[in-house]
Amino acid sequence: MSYGTFETTYAADDERYDRIPYRRTGRSGLDLPAFSFGLWQKFGTDYAFETQREIILHAFDLGITHFDNADRYGPPHRAAQQNFGKVLAKDLASYRDEIILSTKAGNAIGPSPYLKGGSRKSLLTSLDHSLRDFGTDHVDIFYSHSPDLSTPLEETVGALVSAVEQGKALYVGVSNYLPDRAHEAAVLLADAGVPLLIHQPRYSIFDRRIEQNGLLELADRDGFGLIVYSPLAQGLLTDKYLETIPDGARAVNSTFLKPDAITDTYRQRAAELNKLAEARGQSLAQLALQWVLRNPTVTSALVGASSTWQLDHNVKALDFPPFTDEELALIDEHGVHGTGLNL
């Protein structure tokens, strides 16, 4: 898909690189912003395009140069890529060299066996569609979105290697892989001369699996970065649900967070974390975001936003002093793994 060229009134903020730190991605040469912007939710056809455009451009003005997408994101599937492609064509085309554009393939986007899984057919066909959605000739990072245990890992890795060799991706990554399979993929990729750049797992105060299963240590050993998603645990690590479930909240209309997650136990733990955040002069969301970035192995945290205000608020998490040992102990006490997440 080509969106052509358009006149734009947008000019990027000259001070955008003064506002956010950049962190090296594993043992690669690539730096990513501490916060990356994810288009997982609220960038489909069910939200106003002009609002999406405003948020994307504001993110770039803040120094967020990495935009994370996937063929599944919508609704419908691919809509988020197509909407970003429109913004890229109209407003950001002259800044393409400053943008890290990533996408993923492998999660089901239709009933066909070729619209899911880790086969060469699925991954490389999806990548071609994504390039048309974006209106660009390459992405910077191409991910295997989830492990496909029914497909040989060698085939999945071979597809990622081909994407780089064909010039359609500069780097490759994996998402949601358990450590053993991530290590196997890293070894196969290294043997092919295309190192594993990055792994995208879920991580938050309430979801500590990457601490428990050894992925943090593996990233250090194998030399890949980590970009974590759901650092706010689908909104559980905000003050939104401390008393009631607001009308229109994610727990009402999302397939990823259900009302039964909002238990008395969750509220008690979140309230204690909120007290700590208030004592530090920050919001619970800012505390949660700062917490995932405290570990240098985490290259970047993915954030979304439904408004520019929300994006500004989240980025300000970088402005607070480091946690003390006592504060980290309190977070460990009340940030119990699995809270609200049915793990």
Report pLDDT digits (tens) over 288-336. 999 999 999 999 999 999 999 999 999 999 999 999 999 999 999 999 9
pLDDT over 70, % of the chain: 93
pLDDT, residue 88, reads 98
Report domain extents, the chain.
21-200
Split at pLDDT 50, 70, 90, the class of 256 is low
Lowest mean pLDDT among 71-75, 204-208, 263-267, 327-331: 263-267
Q: Which residue has the tokens 């086969």?
A: 119
- Which helix (H) or strand (E) covers residue 264, if one does? helix 264-279
Split at pLDDT 50, 70, 90, the class of 252 is very low
Split at pLDDT 50, 70, 90, the class of 244 is low
pLDDT at 255 over 90: no
- Which helix (H) or strand (E) covers residue 139, if one does? strand 139-144
pLDDT at 133 over 70: yes
Residue 98's CB: how many other CB atoms inside 10 A? Answer: 12
CATH topology of domain 21-200: TIM Barrel (3.20.20)
pLDDT, residue 340, reads 87
In angstroms, the first-to-last Cα distance of the chain is: 40
pLDDT, residue 262, reads 86
CA angle, 239 then 245 then 248, to 5°:
105
Length of the chain, please? 343
**Residue type at 82 in one-letter notation:** Q
**Cis amide prior to 113 (ω within 30 degrees):** no
| Interacting residues of 72 by C-beta distance below 8 A, sequence separation 6+ | 104, 107, 108, 109, 145
pLDDT, residue 260, reads 75
Query: Full-prediction pTM beyond 0.85?
Result: yes
C-alpha dihedral (179, 183, 184, 186), degrees to nearest 10: 140
Residue 193's CB: how many other CB atoms inside 10 A? Answer: 9
pLDDT at 203 over 70: yes
Whole-number average pLDDT of the chain: 94
